[in-house]
Structure 1
Amino acid sequence: GILVGVASVIAMMALGEGAKGAMQEQLKSMGSNLLSIRGGSASFHGAAQGSGAVARFTFSDVDDIASLQSFVKSATGVVTGNARIVYGNNNWSSSLTGVGFDYGVMRSVIPVLGRWFTLDEIVQREKVAIIGVTVVKELFGGSNPLGKTVKINRINFQIIGIAPAKGFSGPQDEDDVVIIPATTAMYRVLGKDYLSGIFVEVTSTALIEKAKSEIGALIIKKHRLKEDDESFNIRDMTEMQKMLSSTTQTMSLLLGSIAAISLLVGGIGIMNIMLVSVTERTREIGLRKAIGARKNDIMMQFLVESVGLTVCGGFIGVLAGIGISLVLSFFAGWAVKTSLLSVVLAAAFSALIGIFFGLWPAKKAAELKPLEALRYE
C-alpha cells in the first residue's frame, strides 16, 4: 500500500507538472497580449435560446476589429473542422484549421520547412496546405512532403510547408493539424459562411482590458446584442492560465485523495504486520525486559522497525513512480518533471505513516510484563 501510494503520487505529480509546463510554454509562445473571441451559447435554465444563440463572426468583423488601431496590432479569423487526408495508400484523420495571413506570426506557426501563405493565396481560396509533424510522419514517413499533392476531404491540395513542432497541450496533439487558408476552408472544404473565432493581438498588455471592453462593445453594437448577452466570449491569456491552474488543482486534489487512500491502506497493513511481530516475539520482549530493557527501549525498537518498513516502501515507491512517469510520458508525448519536493514529501509521509501506525504495536510491546512474556508459548 505504501509503495503503491507513493508511486502513484510521484508518477502523477511528475506527469501533472510536465503537462502544466507544456501548457504554460504554449501559452507563453502565444503571447500575453493575445485575445481569443469565440461564439458562446446564450442559455436559460440550461437551454439554448433559438436562433442567434451563438454569435457568428465573418471577415467583416475581423476588419472592424483590426480598424481599432489605437490598441489592436492585428486581427485574424480562424475556422476549424475535421480533415481526412489521403496520400497514395496512406490516409489519416486530423484537425483542420483555416487561418488568415497574420495567424502565422501571431501563433508562432511559420513553417520550419517551406513557406507561409501569401495574401493572394488567401484571397483566391487556393488549395495549399501546411501540415504538422505528426501528419508528416503518418503520411510520408521519412520523405519530404513539400510540393506533394494530397487529398483533404477528397480535394487536391499542394503541401507548401511543415509547421513547427508544438507537442501536446493536455491530451491534444498540437502537431496533428492541417492548416489551410480560412477562405479555402470555409468555401471549398467545410461549406461554412462564418468563422469559428477571431484572434486579436493587442499592442501592449497594459491595454488588454480596454481592448476587451471596446471590442465587446463593437460586437454588441454590430450584431445588435444585449449588454448581458452570452452569445460570444472574449478571453485573454491570463484567463486561460487561471483555467489551467484550476484544472491542475482539481487533478492534484483527485490524485491526493487516491494517494491518501493508498497510504491509509498501507498504514493499516504495517500496523497489522507489527502486531503479528509483537505476538511472535513476545518471549524475546520478555527476555530483553528481564535483562534490563526499559519500556522506551522496547517501544523505540518497534517504532524504528515500523518506520524502516514504510521508508523502504516509500523509497521503492519513489523509484517505481519515476519509472512509471517516464513510461507514461513516452505515450503522453510531454516531458515529466519529478521535483525534489515531491520526493522529500513522499519520504516524510512514509516516515509519518510508520510512526502513526507503528505507535500502537510499539506501545503494546512496551507494556508486556516480563514474567508473562517469558511464559508465553
Structure 2
Amino acid sequence: MNLISPIQESFSSIKQNKTRSVLAGFGVAWGIFILILLLGAGNGFQEGILQLFSSFAKNSMFIYGGHVSEKKLDKSIQHKKILFNDLDVKIINERYPEIEFISPEVIFRGNSLTIYEQNAAYPQIKGILPDYFNVKIIKPEKGRLINTLDNKEYRRVALIGKQVSNQLFPDEEPLGKEINIAGSFFTIVGVIEKGSLFTQNEQSVIYIPYNTFNDCLTPTIEYNSLVLTLAKKTDATAFENKIKTFLGKRKGFNKEDKKAIFILNFENQVKMFDKLFKGINLFLWIIGLCFLLSGIVGIGNIMLVIVKERTHEIGIRKAIGAESSSIVRMIITESIVITSMAGIIGLVVGGGVIGILNWVIESFFTDKDSLFTEASIDYAVIIFSLSILMLSGIIAGFIPAKKAASITPVEAIRN
C-alpha cells in the first residue's frame, strides 16, 4: 500500500487552504498544550509536596501518649494519662527487631529562658538520643549533630535552631559559645539548617543529649513521646497494630481507644498522598482530553467541509476507477497529518512553557518550603500523547471519509 502519495496530497491540500488548516489544527494544538501543561504542573506540585516529607524517614513513626477515654475500665485507669519511660523504650526495642532506631523526645516544661551575654530567648528544650536524627532528618548548617559520646559522657552540648541562633548571636558566630539554659551552661556544637515546612518548629528548638537533660535540667522519669524508624520492607500498618496491642496490655488501655495513644505513621501518610495525586492526575488527564476532544470535533467538521468542496474531484476519481478504500485513505491521511502537525506544535510549545516555568521557579523561588518544584513530563506521557494524536486523526477523519467514499460519479456531476 503506497502511503507516500496520500501524504503528498495532504500537504498539497494544506498548502492550498492554509487558513482552514490552521483553524482546524488550533483546537488540537491547544488541547495537547493544555494537557502537557496540566500534567507538568501536577508533577511539579506532587514533587514539591513529597519533598516536604524528606525531613522524615519514610518508614518513621511517632508515638504520642494521650488519655484513656474508655469508661468501662477500672476507675484507676479511667482518664489515665499514658506516659512512657526508659524501660518501655528498652523493652520495645528488644521485643521488635524490625525497629532500627528509637528515641524518646522529652520536652522541658520549666522556664526555658536561654541567655548569652545581653541576649535572651525562650526556645523549646528537647532531650533526645542520637538515634532521633535517623527518624527526623535534621541537618546542621554549621557544626554537627549530637552524637553517642555526647549522651554517654553526659556532655553539656547543645544543637540550636536557626531562629535561636539569630536571637542569641545576631552578630557573632555561635559555634563554641556557651549559653545559659535554665541555669546550666551548654556549649553550642551545631546550628540546624533551615529545612522544609514540616521542620520549621526546629528553628526555635534547642536539642541536648538525653542523659544530660536528666542530669542538668529536670530528671524525667516519664514522657509522652517516642520516635522510631522501621527497617525496610517492614509492613508499617501491621507494626502499628502490634505496638498498639503491646502498649494497650502494658499500660492497661484498650488498643481500640483512639484517645489513649496517637501514632503518626509517615509511610501511611506518604501512601495517602500518593493516592491523592493519582486522583489529581486522573482529573488533569480528563480535563486535558476534554480540550483535545473539542479539537477533534473541530477537525471532523473541517474535514466534512473539505469532502463537500472536493465532491467533484472525488466523483471524477471514482469515475476513472478509483476504489472507495483509496478515497477513505486519502481523507483519513489528511486528517491524521493535520492532527499530528497541530499536536506536535502543541507538545513543543507546552514543553517550552514548562521550561520557562522551571527557569522562573529556579531563579526566583529557591525556598525549600516551596510547594512546587520542577515541572516535568515523562517520556511515556509524550509517547502516549502522540498515540492519542494518531488515533484522534483517524477518529476525526472517519465519518468524513465514509461520506466521501459514498459519493457516486452521478452525484458529483450534479454538484
* TM bracket (short chain): 0.5 to 0.7
> How high is the TM-score relative to the length of structure 1?
0.65
- Asked whether 1:161 is paired with 2:191, we answer yes
| Deviation at residue 364 of structure 1 after TM alignment | 0.9
Does the C-alpha gap of structure 1 residues 21 and 215 become closer, same or farther in structure 2, counting only changes over 3 Å? same
RMSD: 4.8
Q: What is the TM-score with the length of structure 2 in the denominator?
A: 0.60
1:105 to 1:238, Cα distance in 2 relative to 1, 3 A: closer
Partner of 1:312: 341
How far residue 217 of structure 1 moved from its aligned partner, in angstroms, is 3.5
Aligned with residue 34 of structure 1, among 52, 60, 69: 60
Alignment of 1:195-274 (within 5 A): 198-202=226-230, 212-213=240-241, 215-217=243-245, 219-220=247-248, 225-231=253-259, 232-274=261-303
Q: Aligned match of 2:373 in 334, 342, 356?
A: 334
Structure 2 residue corresponding to 1:4, chosen from 17, 25, 30: 30
Comparing 304-313 and 225-234, the one that deviates more: 225-234
Separation in 2, partners of 1:334, 1:126: 33
Cα distance in 1 for partners of 2:30, 2:204 equals 44
The number of residues matched between the two structures is: 318
Instruction: Indicate which of 341, 344, 356 corresponds to 2:383.
Output: 344
Distance (whole Å) between structure 1 residues aligned to residue 316 and residue 37 of structure 2: 45
Residues 260-314 of structure 1: per-residue CA shift (max 9 Å, x gap): 3122212111111111222222233233334433222221111011111221222
Q: 1:215 to 1:259 in 2, by over 3 A?
A: same
Q: Which residue of 2 aligns with 1:190?
A: none
14 and 38 in structure 1: CA distance in 2 versus 1, 3 angstrom threshold? farther
Shift of 1:115: 3.6
Q: 1:106 to 1:264 in 2, by over 3 A?
A: same
Larger proportion of strand: 1
1: CA distance between counterparts of 2:390 and 2:256? 55
1:178 is matched with: 203
What letter is aligned with 1:339?
D
Shift of 1:161: 2.0
Q: Can you give the 5+ residue segments of structure 1 that lack an aligned partner in the other structure?
A: 44-53, 80-95, 149-157, 167-171, 184-193
Task: Answer yes or no: is the 8 Å Cα contact 2:160–2:191 preserved in 1.
Answer: no
Q: 2:328 aligns with which of 271, 289, 299?
A: 299
Deviation per CA, 1:293-350, whole angstroms, max 9, x where unpaired? 3222221111011111221222122223323434455265423442221111000011
Query: Identity of counterpart residues, as a percentage?
Result: 24
Aligned to 2:392: 353
The structure-2 alpha-carbon separation of the partners of 1:159 and 1:74, relative to structure 1 and needing over 3 Å to count, comes to closer
- The CA distance in 2 between the partners of 1:56 and 1:125, in whole Å, is 32
- What does residue 39 of structure 2 align with? 13
AA aligned to 2:227 is F
| Secondary structure in 2 matching 1:69 | helix
The separation in 1 between residues aligned to 2:405 and 2:289, in whole angstroms, is 29
Alpha-carbon deviations, 1:174-200, whole Å to 9, x = none? 6897251379xxxxxxxxxx9996421
Larger radius of gyration: 2
State the AA in 2 paired with 1:352. L
Greater CA deviation, 11-20 or 67-76?
A: 11-20
Structure 2 residues not aligned, in runs of 5+: 1-26, 70-78, 108-123, 176-187, 209-221, 366-370
Contact 2:48/2:372 (8 A) holds in 1: no
**Deviation sequence 1:200-221 (CA, Å, 0-9, x none):** 1246755967853453245435
1:354, distance to aligned residue in structure 2 (A)? 1.2
Partner SS for 1:66:
helix
Look up the equivalent residue of 1:318 and give its one-letter code.
Answer: L
Deviates further, 310-319 or 229-238: 229-238
Aligned-pair distance for 1:246?
1.1
Q: In the superposition, relative to structure 1, how do residues 340 and 76 fare at CA in structure 2: closer, same or farther (>3 Å)?
A: same
Q: CA deviation at 1:249?
A: 1.8
Give the Cα–Cα distance (whole angstroms) in 1 for the partners of residues 139 and 319 of structure 2: 82
